[in-house]
Amino acid sequence: MAHNAVGIDIGGTGIKGALVDVASGKLQSDRVKLPTPAGGEPDDIVRTVQEVLKKLKADKKHPIGVCFPAVVVKGKTLSAANVSKKWIGLEAEALFEKSLDRDITFVNDADAAGYAESLYGAAEKNKGLILMTTLGTGIGSAIIYRGVLVPNAELGHIQLEGVDWETKAAYSAKERENLSWAEWAERLQKYYSTLEALFHPDLFIVGGGVSKEYADFLPLLKLDTPIVPATLRNNAGILGAAAFASGK
């Protein structure tokens, strides 16, 4: 297992990266962040990642992990959230490997964040069944069991009351409909109660930018499963991508 690795987190608005000590989960460099190119086209994003790596002065001895807002199966992106639809069906891992001239580990962004929380964050000491959800534009999710990731879980798309429930319970729905914390929590209650009934997890972790305001809504939920905010914040994707790349 490599001791240090580079983690790159590609989002709809920003692309950020850092060198990571994967044993401790500590950043070994300043975090570099550049804007995601308008339109989110594959070649433009690859060029921006090249710029991030240049600023990090990452050499070829450091494995690179890249996390991305898409379902990723065998290096191919099967969806695209807040980036160009040209990513759908693209051999993304191969594109990056050819452009960067090195091996790349390419993973879903929620999977990377959830895995990082299981290694270094809110679930570091819990080796049971962990469900992480990220509440943002949609609802991302990750399933980790005894430290092993079950990839590409799309639990935000569970159907409740005849609709894709992330359209009702994502943080974007709260903003769009100007819901109070209590009104939004009612929708979250239905969501997490359903996950609880289906999976009986040992722990829920809630990520996304709104998790900073967890005190306004998590105490309103009545669940048998403990539910806690993510602790790694904006570094979760970087740390998880680096950990995957290192073989940790």
CB 104 within 8 A of CB 93: yes
The vertex-221 CA angle with 219 and 227, nearest 5°, equals 75
pLDDT at 60: 83
Alpha-carbon distance of 173 to 157, in angstroms, equals 14
pLDDT at 51: 96
CA proximity to 71, closest of 198, 157, 164, 174: 157
- Exposed e or buried b for every residue in 209-243, given b needs 16+ CB within 10 A? ebbeeeeebbeebeeebebbbbbbeebbbbbbbbb
Domains 4-111+235-246 and 125-230 share a fold: yes
Task: Classify domain 125-230 by CATH architecture.
Answer: 2-Layer Sandwich (3.30)
Alpha-carbon distance of 244 to 212, in angstroms, equals 26
Alpha-carbon distance of 14 to 209, in angstroms, equals 14
pLDDT along the chain (248 residues), means of 10: 88 93 94 95 96 90 93 94 92 95 93 96 91 92 94 94 95 96 98 98 94 96 97 93 92
Q: What is the 3-state secondary structure (H, E, C) of 173-214?
A: HHHHCCCCHHHHHHHHHHHHHHHHHHHCCCEEEEECHHHHHH
Task: Classify domain 4-111+235-246 by CATH architecture.
Answer: 2-Layer Sandwich (3.30)
Alpha-carbon distance of 82 to 18, in angstroms, equals 22
Instruction: Tell me the pTM.
Output: 0.91
pLDDT at 2: 64
pLDDT at 201: 97
Alpha-carbon distance of 228 to 123, in angstroms, equals 9
Instruction: Return the domain boundaries, the chain.
Output: 4-111+235-246, 125-230
Strand partners, 143: 131, 150
Q: How far is CA 41 from the centre of its chain?
A: 20
pLDDT at 1: 61
